[in-house]
Structure 1
Amino acid sequence: MGLTAFPATAQAQTPVLCSESSLVDAIATANAAGGDTLLLLPFCTYRLTSAHGRGPAGPVGLPPITSPITLLGMGSTITRDPSAPAFRVMDVEGAANVPATKGQLSMVGVTVSGGSAVSPYPGGGISNFYVNAPVLAALAPVSGPLSGGNTVTLTGTHLVEATAMRFANTAATSFTVVSDTRITAVAPAGPAGPVEVTVSTAGGTRNAVSYAYVPAPALAALSPGQGPASGGNSVTLTGTGLGPTTRVLFGTTPATFTVVSDTHVVAEAPPGAVGPVDVTVVTPGGTSAPAGYTRVGPPAV
C-alpha cells in the first residue's frame, strides 16, 4: 500500500470537473465501486474548504481512500484552502492499518499541498497511518451486577484510538478514552458468569480481559435472629450468592464478617439501639433484600 509512480492496472478513466464537490463525489463513488482511475482536469486546482472524512489520524479533506484509486493529472493540484480548518488532505486506508479495507493510491502529474494535520499527528499531506492494536492489561472492578450500569476502568496500551469496547458480544453502554493507557466504561447488562472484554481500534483487536457478571445475593435466614444491644455475638447468615460478599450491614452499620461458603457467612453483630434492625449483604452483584434481626436490652432488675 502507498504511492507508486504509475497506475498498477489499466482502468476506464472517469473525468472529474474542476471543483471540490466533484472530486469528493468522484472518490466516494470510486470507493463504492471498488476502485477507479480518475482523470483530473489539466492545471486545475482542487481547493478543499472543509474536511469530507475522518481517518485514524484525524479529519481528512477528501473521503478516506478504501479501494485502489489512481489520480491522473497534468499539472493538477489538490490543496487545502488556507482559510479552512485544520485537516489532512488525503488518507489511505489499507488492510495494514485499517482492517477489511483495500485502499491503494497511485498518482501521476498531481501535486498535493497545504495540508495541516490535527495534533498529535504531524504532517498534513497524505497519511498512510498505522494504528497499533490495543493491548489490555487489567480491568477494575473485575465483576458487577447482571443489570450492568457500574463503571469499570480498563488499563493497557494503545487505547487512545479506541472505537469500540465490548463485553462478550455486547457493546459497553458508554466508554470514555482517558489516555493511551486508560479507558473508563459503563458495563452493559449480561448473563451470570465470566465474559471477555475487548477493545477495538483501527489497528484491530488483540487480547481480552475477564469480567464476571454476578447475581444479587439473597438471604434466607439469620441464626440467632436476636442478640444483645451491646453486640459482639456471632450471627450465621444463610442464603445464596454470598461467596463474593464485600459488606454485611446491620442497618447502616458495617459488621465484621467471615465468608464460609457461597451459602454461609458468619458476622459479628455490632452494637445498636434496642429493637428490630434490617440486615443486608452486599456483593458486586448488588444488595440483598433485608432479613430481620432484633437487638434486645438487658433484663430489668
Structure 2
Amino acid sequence: MRTILIIDDDVAFTAKLKAQLSEAGYRVLNSTVLAHAERECARERPDLVLLEVRTEHDAGWEALPRLAAFQPVIVLSSAGLEEDVMRGFAAGAADYITKPYRTGELLARIQARMLSEAPVIAPTNPKTTVIEEMTPVSTSRRANDEETAEPVFMSEAEELALLRQSEQAPIRQLSESEQHASLGHRLRAERQRRHLTLVQIENDIKVRMYYLQAIEDEQWSLLPRGPAALGMIRAYAGYFGIDASAAEAEYRLRYQVEEKTPSFSFTVGNVNTRLPRRSPPRWLIVTLAIVLALAIAVGAIYYFDPAFFSQFIGG
C-alpha cells in the first residue's frame, strides 16, 4: 500500500483530506509540525508528500527543498499567485495544486505521480543483504519529473472523456452513513453518485466551481461574506433537493449574517400584492429632526417668556 504524508497545520482540513485519501486506498500519515514531519519522512519513507507551504507562518517554503530531495512533493496550498507556483517548482515541487481544489483532480494527479515514481524491480541475490539509505534525487531525475509533470488544469479532451465515462457509469444508491453525513459530505456523495462534475453543476446553477468545492469541503471562510454565501449554499443543496437549513444556521452563527428584512404584503380583491420595505432617506430624517428641535425651542421660549417675541414684533 502506497504511503502519503500530509503536512498542514490546518487540523480540520487535514482530517478531511486524510479521510478522502484513505477511502481511495492510500496509507495516510499527517503532521502539523515541520520538524516532526521531516523526522517522519526519514523514518517512514513515504511515497509522496502533500505540503502546505504556509505551515508554521510560511516556514513550509524553507522545508520544501529538503523534503523534495528525498521523495516527490506536491504542494497543496492556499498560496495561489503565479509567483508562488513558480517559486514552488523552482524549490523542487513535483506538482502544485491550489486550494480549493477538485477532489477528483487531486486523486488523479496523485495517481499519475505514483505511477511515474513506480520502482523498477531488480532480481535479488539471497546471499546479499541490501541496506537502503536515503540519497538525494539526482538532478537528471528531477529534470525528468518536471518534463513529464502533469498539466495544472485538465484539458478539454480530458474533461469530455470524463463526462462520457460518467454518462455510461451506473447510478448507485447512497449508503446510510452518507445519508446522515454533514452537508458537504452529502453534496459530494450525491454528486459522485450521479456522476456529475463541478463544471456541469457550475453551468447549471451559475455558482463558481471553486465555491462549490469550498462548500463540499465545508471551508466556509473561502465563501464571500454575507447573504451571497447563504444563496450559494441554498442553490447547491437545492440542486440535489437537500435541506441546507442546518448549514445555513451554522454559517449565520459563525459570521453573524443577517439577511434583509422581508417585504410586507396586502390583498386587493383576490390579488396578493407584495411591497418592499423602504426606509426614508437619511437627509429627510435629519431635516425633520432639525425642524422638530427648532419648534420645541420656540415653544419653550414662548411659554416661559411671552414678551420675548412681542419686542421683535413691536419694533
TM class by shorter chain equals under 0.3
Greater RCO, 1 or 2 (C-alpha within 8 Å, sep 6+): 1
Structure with greater strand share of residues = 1
